[in-house]
Amino acid sequence: MNDMSTPGSVTEPSFAEASELLEKLTQQIGKSLIGQQAVVEQVLIAMFAGGHVLLEGVPGLGKTLLVRVLAQTFGGTFKRIQFTPDLMPSDITGHALFDMKEGKFRVRQGPVFTNLLLADEINRAPAKTQAALLEVMQERRVTIEGKSQAVPLPFMVLATQNPLEQEGTYPLPEAELDRFLMKVLIDYPNESDEVQLTRMITQTTSDDPDSGNGAQLLNTEQFQLLQNTINQVTLDEQVVDYAVRLVRATRENTAIRQGAGPRASIALVRCARVNAVLQGREFVLPDDIKAVAVAVMRHRITLAADAEIDGVTADEMLHNLLDKIEAPRL
């Protein structure tokens, strides 16, 4: 059996090995991000499904720590952009500078050239700057001065967003929201987890529960081999049909002003495959679709005015749809 946990192994893992490694990754990250197991699992699902994540929560809940520890687990590079109202698109992608010595322009690559990009407080920058991420999120390439350059693989954007009720925030354009595979909500830990976190941090002189020496469980090549194994998970046509029916139901509900598009159907299936492996299976069940449905679709639907006035949330609406749409029995 291949030891995927040892950097250097380059053989594609079996389903059992892939499941074991995903479990190890979950545990490793969970040691630093205490009390956020669901968040850790959802971010890992999105990462191995090849997507990007929008993280929403108040400051101080470990969003930056999550991204840094995630990068450490596969030896990837990590960069952070603090979004502000005066941030320019070129501050993200890079720009051309004239080299006086050589008498020609040189391209200075921006922070987007990394494996994991933390776009912190993305909704504090105006739409023009937010849109600078659109091309790289979709194509994994950046165009600078008319020349297209590829970013390193794997590549993932994890954008943090403040709740829209806070001052100085701009709503993300719908086209950009749709590029995020999942929207993950980070809430306060429960009391026992907060006690554990407080005890652990107060044993050191740092406010950071991770010293920066997180264990590397795989390298970037093994990362892509693991993705290949996940892509081979058995997928029944009835499961695909179920995913599409769920998404289409958001377009047919009068309480939803704008439903999810076809990207949501694709995202459901991709995320369900990773969830199946995480649960130790090499085939997708309708339960895998249900497990990821809310995180995949909550940012892709817009509620009608009447529903918002009644205090209905996107999550509640999606849970109602999951209860109503009959799942296939496999």
Position 9 pLDDT exceeds 70: no
Q: What is the pLDDT of residue 276?
A: 97
Are the C-beta atoms of 118 and 69 separated by less than 8 Å? no
Which burial class, exposed, middle or buried, applies to 137 when counting CB atoms under 10 A from its CB (0-12, 13-18, 19+)?
A: buried
Position 213 pLDDT exceeds 80: no
The per-residue pLDDT for range 39-60, each reduced to its tens digit, is 999 999 999 999 999 998 777 6
Question: Which stretch of 82-96, 222-236, 263-277, 313-327 has the lowest confidence by average pLDDT?
Answer: 82-96
Helices (H), 159-311: 174-177, 191-201, 220-231, 237-252, 262-278, 286-297, 305-309
How far is residue 293's CA from residue 250's CA, in Å, rounded to a whole number?
12
Position 197 pLDDT exceeds 80: no
Long-range (24+ apart) CB contacts under 8 A made by 17-25 are 17/229, 18/226, 18/229, 18/230, 18/277, 19/277, 19/278, 19/279, 19/280, 19/281, 21/217, 21/218, 21/226, 22/48, 22/226, 22/274, 22/277, 22/278, 23/278, 24/217, 25/73, 25/217
Structure letter (DSSP) for residue 259: -
Are the C-beta atoms of 45 and 169 separated by less than 8 Å? no
CATH number belonging to domain 9-206: 3.40.50.300
SS3 76: coil
Token readout for 81 is 């952009």
Phi, psi of 198, rounded to the nearest 5 degrees: -65, -45
Structure letter (DSSP) for residue 294: H
Are the C-beta atoms of 171 and 123 separated by less than 8 Å? yes
The per-residue pLDDT for range 103-150, each reduced to its tens digit, is 777 788 899 999 999 999 888 888 888 888 888 998 999 988 778 899
Kind and range of the H or E run holding 171? none
Question: Which stretch of 129-138, 162-171, 298-307 has the lowest confidence by average pLDDT?
Answer: 162-171
Indicate the pLDDT class of residue 1, thresholds 50, 70 and 90: very low
Are the C-beta atoms of 70 and 26 separated by less than 8 Å? no
Comparing CA positions, the residue from 16, 67, 59 lying closest to residue 40 is 67
Position 167 pLDDT exceeds 70: no
Phi, psi of 30, rounded to the nearest 5 degrees: -65, -25
Q: For the chain, where do the domains classified as CATH 3.40.50.300 start and end?
A: 9-206
Indicate the pLDDT class of residue 211, thresholds 50, 70 and 90: very low
CA dist list (Å): 28 to 24, 65, 115, 132: 6, 13, 19, 33
Q: Report the topology of domain 230-330.
A: Helicase, Ruva Protein; domain 3 (1.10.8)
Indicate the pLDDT class of residue 210, thresholds 50, 70 and 90: low
Q: For the chain, where do the domains classified as CATH 1.10.8.80 start and end?
A: 230-330
